[in-house]
Structure formats: structure tokens, C-alpha cells
Amino acid sequence: MKKEQIILKAIEILAKKGYANTTTRMISERAGIAVGSLYTHFKSKDAILDHIFQNEYKKRAVYIDHLKEKECKHIEKIGMFLDFHFDELGENRDLMTVLVRESANPELQHLDGVKEFTEQLPLFFKSILEKAMENGEIRKLNADLTAEIIFSTIRGTVCGMAAKSEIQELEKIKKELKKFINNAVKNQEEFK
């Protein structure tokens, strides 16, 4: 599908240059089409980014629904979500860079896809944290804030670090990050 082909090439450039420094001409050239042809597939430059975020949000929403029904400790689900996230990262580093960077771009908060992505995912973390607290799996904490912190930690880590690293490093980073978050929230009492 041509539309997806454009998205793929757009992500490459967006990852490297950032949204504001990516021109429609760059995208069209990389995609091997005329500038005008971009507009037969997307209403505007914005719409390309929106499409990317919508897509990725949907993927995550589906996975989260799947997680919700899983029978395991709630807190493990955050680890699983991290796995999912890092798998994606392994497969498409540029995509993650774009998601992470532009989701913090103030000029793009009007896009539905971006809004969903930045608002819904923390809500997921929050609900997991709340259930894990009820179950005594983790220490008492402010679910709202901590959910945002986790979201931010993941976002920041991916942006600042993972994007620059070699593939073989990813596994190490993931392990470190999981341990980091796990310790951060876990119920210290059970060690006593």
C-alpha cells in the first residue's frame, strides 16, 4: 500500500530531523513520488504525523486490552508492556524516536493521534498501579503521578538513549530499565 510506504519513509526523516525540520519535499523525494502526490494520500503534513500516532496508539491499545485479560500479577504487566515497547523499538528505532519526540511537541498537541497517545497510555499505567496496590504487590504510591513518571521515564529513555545505541545494547537497556522501574514501585515490606 502506497500510503504505508510514504509513512515508512517519512518516519526515517522525521527521526533524523524532527517534525519542524522535515519538509514535504524531503518526504516525497525519499518516497520516490512527486510532492503533490503526498496530498493524494494525506490531507496535510500534519496528517502524516497524526496517522503515525493513530496507528501506534491502536497497536498499543490492542496489546493493553490483551494484557488486561491476562492472569498474572498486575505489576508484571508493566514489565510485559515494556517488553512489547522494546520489541517495537528493536524493530523500528526511528518510529520510536518520532513517537517519543513529537509526543512532547507543543505545536502538535492538536492532533487526535498525539493526544490519545499521550493521554491514554498513562491512564493504563495508572490502572495497573492501582490494582497492584490493592493486591499489595507494590508499595503505596500516588498512582496518577507515578503513572506519569513511568510514562515519562520510558519516553525519556527511548528518546535520549535507546535511539542512539547499537541494537545489541537494547537488551541491556531494557533489563536495566525494568529493574529500575520494578524496584521503584515494589513493596519493600516483602523483603523484611
- Which residue of 2, 66, 110, 164 would you call a contact of DNA, by CB under 7 A? 2
41 makes contact with DNA (CB under 7 A): yes
3-state DSSP call for residue 186?
Answer: strand
- Which residue of 44, 120, 135, 165 would you call a contact of DNA, by CB under 7 A? 44
21 makes contact with DNA (CB under 7 A): yes
Instruction: Let me know: does 136 contact 73? Beta carbons within 8 Å.
Output: no
Helices (H), the chain: 2-17, 24-31, 35-41, 45-68, 74-91, 93-102, 112-134, 143-160, 167-185
148 makes contact with DNA (CB under 7 A): no
Q: Shortest distance, CB of residue 77 to a second copy, whole angstroms?
A: 18
25 makes contact with DNA (CB under 7 A): yes
Question: Which stretch of DSSP H or E encloses residue 33?
Answer: none
When CB distances are held under 5 to 8 angstroms depending on the partner's kind, the choice from DNA, a second copy, none that residue 34 binds is DNA
Instruction: Let me know: does 126 contact 143? Beta carbons within 8 Å.
Output: yes
110 makes contact with DNA (CB under 7 A): no
Give every CB contact of residue 12 below 8 A, 6+ residues apart in sequence.
Answer: 30, 94
40 makes contact with DNA (CB under 7 A): yes
Instruction: Let me know: does 133 contact 140? Beta carbons within 8 Å.
Output: yes
Q: Which spans of this chain sit near a second copy (rule: CB under 8 A)? A: 16-21, 101, 104-107, 118, 139, 141-142, 145-146, 148-149, 151-157, 159-161, 172-173, 176-177, 179-181, 183-186, 188, 191-192
Segment interacting with DNA (CB under 7 A) among 28-36, 53-61, 109-117, 124-132: 28-36
Q: Shortest distance, CB of residue 19 to a second copy, whole angstroms?
A: 8
Q: Which of 115, 132, 108 is nearest to 181 (CA)?
A: 132
